[in-house]
Amino acid sequence: MKKIHKTRLLLSSILVICLIAISVRLIHRSASSDDHVSDYLGMADSITKIVNDYPGEIGVAVIINNTDTITVNNENIYPMMSVFKTHQALAICNDFDNKGISLDSLMIIQREELDANTWSPMLKEHPEDVISLPVRDLLRYALSQSDNNASNLMFKKLVDVTATDSFMATIIPRSSFKIAYTEEEMSADHDKAYANSTSP
∠ Cα 176 172 140 (to 5°): 105
Q: What is the DSSP string of 154-189?
A: HHHHTS-HHHHHHHHTTTS-GGGEE----HHHHHH-
Contact yes or no for 59/78 (Cβ under 8 A)? yes
In the chain the first and final C-alpha atoms are separated, in Å, by 25
Q: Please, how many CA atoms are within 13 Å of residue 57, restricted to the half-sphere of its CB?
A: 10
Q: What positions carry a catalytic annotation? A: 82
What is the β-pairing status of strands 68-72 and 78-79?
Answer: unpaired
